[in-house]
Amino acid sequence: MEILSFFTFLFSLTLLSTLELSFAADTITSRQYIRDGETLTSSSQRYELGFFSPGNSNNRFLGIWYKITPQVIVWVANRNKPIPDKTGVLTISSNGSLVLIDEGKRILWSSNSSRILANPEAQLLDSGNFILRESTDRSSENYMWQSFDYPSDTLLAGMKLGWNLKTGFERYLTSWRSVDDPSVTDFSYRLEINDAPQLYISTSSKKVARSGPWNGVQFGGIPMAHNKVFKPMVVHNEDELYYMYKPFDDTVLTRIIVNQSSGTMQRFVFNKGSGAWDILYSWPFDTCDHFEQCGANSNCRTSRTPMCECLKGFVPKSQDDWGTPQTTTCVKKSQESDCPDREGFLKLVRMKVPDNNWSNQSMNTQECRAKCLKNCSCMAYANSDISGKGSGCLMWSGDLTDIKECSGSFSWGQDLYIRVPASELGLIKFLDVLCSKIS
Ligand SMILES: *[C@@H]1O[C@H](CO)[C@@H](O)[C@H](O)[C@H]1NC(C)=O
Ligand SMILES: *[C@@H]1O[C@H](CO)[C@@H](O)[C@H](O)[C@H]1NC(C)=O
Ligand SMILES: *[C@@H]1O[C@H](CO)[C@@H](O)[C@H](O)[C@H]1NC(C)=O
Ligand SMILES: *[C@@H]1O[C@H](CO)[C@@H](O)[C@H](O)[C@H]1NC(C)=O
Ligand SMILES: *[C@@H]1O[C@H](CO)[C@@H](O)[C@H](O)[C@H]1NC(C)=O
Ligand SMILES: *[C@@H]1O[C@H](CO)[C@@H](O)[C@H](O)[C@H]1NC(C)=O
């Protein structure tokens, strides 16, 4: 901020101190501010914004929480810049940005908006989104800045997890360091934009777990379809590619957090009866969800021993490695090429499909199969959309990695077709291969 405007701003703070908020407002304008102890409350009393101390810490942070459970913080502004005392003030600076300053008038956080506003106002919406806009432009959603664009560790209903494809701007979750410290860690939950988008948890840019690609219903490896609480969706258009969810019932509170201390992403639902937050599911779900728990071309099965098993048509590269997770790499049984004449596809059901590779949404299943069969480097195929009878095409070349057999009573996973020598398929399948080549 320029020296001049900074002093004008401080001066106006002193002058206008009689205008402090003494009522449950959801909006501040450039003439108002929020001091430690004062809060904004969204119109239906769902969310509250103000200063808080996390866990056993005495540090103060500006954040948003559920009014009904104030200990559940859903967003933090000054994550890496704690205020050691209660002198924090949030206001709108003379150029129209939100700024958080402390007693020493240091700027601890600002909204980083790129346009100077004439009549700015900041409002805490009932969605939990804290927005900054021109007060003359209330009807549009043309916000100058919004907290939903800068998530902390929490994904609320209506928030986007993913990418602006035009600008390369990514919205993703990063966990708190500990319950006492909301500072940003590299433990994150994000959307990977390959041909087929998938969610993953990573730390230091290493994948910890991946969801499997979005298949039109859910991310194959996270059992979220057919739940009664929320509808998951992936939006893909020219400008954006993101994951988002909506509760079926707007009065139901649900949230996702990414939690470094448990190493998981957790989905909570507020239980009105008990007044507590119940965990609907957490993910990684089981050992097989840990990224590349088993080596290449092997299948991870949580409930079996050994957990890792070579796919049909593959054998352990080294017999000594057998059964040792991660080190068991499997290689093709027969090295001499049968391809493409004496090969076919084996169907594996309820699979988290391999880490993704190539896709074509407009191909149908037959075209997909034919294209994969023709190309000897194609190792497997699957539908990219299983919402109807199955459509779209995913194909994998090279080693098949991070495959899991989805077990239990959930409805998850999908059919995966792996290329195997016809000798592995049995007579009927062999005929099937021949017939499909003739037809
Ligand atoms: C507005 O002021 C804030 C706080 O001084 C500063 O961080 C920001 O860069 C300024 N924005 C513009 C557009 O000048
Ligand atoms: C503020 O915006 C600039 C330019 O868009 C960007 O480089 C910078 O990282 C942003 N800072 C924060 C804290 O978001
Ligand atoms: C993260 O997980 C730890 C250990 O399970 C738990 O104590 C903590 O409350 C969780 N954090 C949040 C924000 O839920
Ligand atoms: C497919 O996977 C192979 C092996 O991991 C990799 O080299 C290639 O870049 C991937 N192709 C695409 C389109 O992602
Ligand atoms: C996808 O498949 C359709 C139908 O076979 C084809 O017309 C189209 O060219 C393919 N697109 C790409 C990028 O391969
Ligand atoms: C076979 O698949 C590989 C890997 O996807 C690709 O690079 C190659 O161009 C394909 N070959 C043919 C003939 O389509």
Residue nearest ligand 4's atom 14 by CA? 357
266: CATH: 2.90.10.10
Alpha carbons 117 and 119: distance in angstroms, whole number:
6
Cis omega (within 30 of 0) for bond into 340: yes
Residue nearest ligand 6's atom 5 by CA? 397
Residue nearest ligand 4's atom 5 by CA? 398
CA of 94 to the centre of ligand 2 (A): 19
**What's the confidence (pLDDT) of residue 329?**
86
Helices assigned H by DSSP within 51-194:
none
Question: Do residues 269 and 329 share a domain?
Answer: no
Question: Do residues 270 and 330 share a domain?
Answer: no
Of residues 135 and 79, the one with the higher pLDDT is 79
Tell me if 360 CB under 6 Å of ligand 6. Answer: no
Q: Which of 287, 309, 338 is the last residue of a domain?
A: 287
**Would you say 359 and 384 are in contact if contact means Cβ atoms under 8 Å apart?**
yes
Residue 189 has pLDDT above 70, yes or no: yes
Phi, psi of 424 (to 5 degrees): -85, -15
Residues with C-beta less than 6 Å from any ligand 4 atom: 194, 357-358, 397-398
140 is a domain residue: yes
Residue type, 92: I
**What's the confidence (pLDDT) of residue 7?**
43
11 is a domain residue: no
- Ligand 6: atom nearest CA of 375 is 1
pLDDT confidence bin for 177, thresholds 50/70/90: very high
**Of the candidates 26, 68, 45, the residue with the CA atom closest to the CA atom of residue 274:** 68
Alpha carbons 19 and 41: distance in angstroms, whole number:
17
Rounded average pLDDT over 55-68: 98
**Would you say 143 and 177 are in contact if contact means Cβ atoms under 8 Å apart?**
no
CB atoms within 10 A of CB 97: 23
Phi, psi of 228 (to 5 degrees): -95, 0
Question: Do residues 278 and 422 share a domain?
Answer: no
Question: Do residues 228 and 271 share a domain?
Answer: yes
Question: Do residues 115 and 185 share a domain?
Answer: yes
DSSP structure class, residue 18? G
Domain count, the chain: 2
Give the lowest-confidence range in 219-228, 259-268, 336-345, 393-402: 336-345
Question: Do residues 274 and 342 share a domain?
Answer: no
Q: Which of 239, 267, 287 is the last residue of a domain?
A: 287
Pocket test for ligand 5, best of 358, 359, 360 (most atoms within 8 A of CB): 360
Residue nearest ligand 5's atom 1 by CA? 360
Alpha carbons 371 and 381: distance in angstroms, whole number:
9
Question: Do residues 252 and 381 share a domain?
Answer: no
Question: Do residues 333 and 187 share a domain?
Answer: no
8 is a domain residue: no
Question: Do residues 282 and 354 share a domain?
Answer: no
Rounded average pLDDT over 111-130: 91
DSSP structure class, residue 433? H
Alpha carbons 178 and 55: distance in angstroms, whole number:
9
- Ligand 3: atom nearest CA of 268 is 14
Of residues 124 and 113, the one with the higher pLDDT is 124
**Of the candidates 100, 146, 141, the residue with the CA atom closest to the CA atom of residue 122:** 146
Q: Which of 287, 319, 346 is the last residue of a domain?
A: 287
Alpha carbons 332 and 313: distance in angstroms, whole number:
6
> Tens digits of per-residue pLDDT, 197-221?
999 999 988 999 999 999 999 999 9
Give the lowest-confidence range in 166-175, 270-279, 329-338, 390-399: 329-338
**What's the confidence (pLDDT) of residue 196?**
86
**What's the confidence (pLDDT) of residue 434?**
55
Report the sign of the C-alpha dihedral through residues 191, 192, 195, 196, in that order. Answer: negative
Phi, psi of 392 (to 5 degrees): 75, 165
**What's the confidence (pLDDT) of residue 433?**
55
Alpha carbons 368 and 384: distance in angstroms, whole number:
10
- Cα-to-chain-centroid distance, residue 163: 11
Residue 10 has pLDDT above 70, yes or no: no
Task: State the residue for tokens 């979750």.
Answer: 173
Question: Do residues 183 and 38 share a domain?
Answer: yes
Tell me if 107 CB under 6 Å of ligand 1. Answer: yes
Alpha carbons 96 and 100: distance in angstroms, whole number:
13
> Tens digits of per-residue pLDDT, 224-262?
777 899 999 999 999 999 999 999 999 999 999 999 999
Residue 374 has pLDDT above 50, yes or no: yes
The whole-chain average pLDDT of the chain stands at 88
Pocket test for ligand 5, best of 358, 363, 372, 383 (most atoms within 8 A of CB): 363
Give the lowest-confidence range in 215-219, 240-244, 363-367, 421-425: 421-425
% of the chain at pLDDT higher than 70: 88
Tell me if 27 CB under 6 Å of ligand 5. Answer: no
**What's the confidence (pLDDT) of residue 327?**
62
Question: Do residues 325 and 374 share a domain?
Answer: yes
- What pTM was estimated for this model as a whole? 0.88
294-305 core/surface letters (b: 16 or more CB in 10 A; e: else):
bbbbbbbbbeee
Task: State the residue for tokens 């949030």.
Answer: 90
Residues in the chain: 439
Report the sign of the C-alpha dihedral through residues 357, 363, 364, 366, in that order. Answer: negative
Residue 428 has pLDDT above 60, yes or no: no
**Would you say 221 and 289 are in contact if contact means Cβ atoms under 8 Å apart?**
yes
Name the E strands within 135-197.
145-146, 154-156, 161-164, 170-171, 173-174, 188-192
Residue-number span of the structural domain to which 199 is assigned: 17-287
Tell me if 358 CB under 6 Å of ligand 6. Answer: yes
pLDDT confidence bin for 339, thresholds 50/70/90: confident
pLDDT confidence bin for 347, thresholds 50/70/90: very high
CA of 359 to the centre of ligand 5 (A): 9
pLDDT confidence bin for 332, thresholds 50/70/90: confident
Task: State the residue for tokens 């809060």.
Answer: 39
Alpha carbons 344 and 366: distance in angstroms, whole number:
13
**What's the confidence (pLDDT) of residue 325?**
53
3 is a domain residue: no
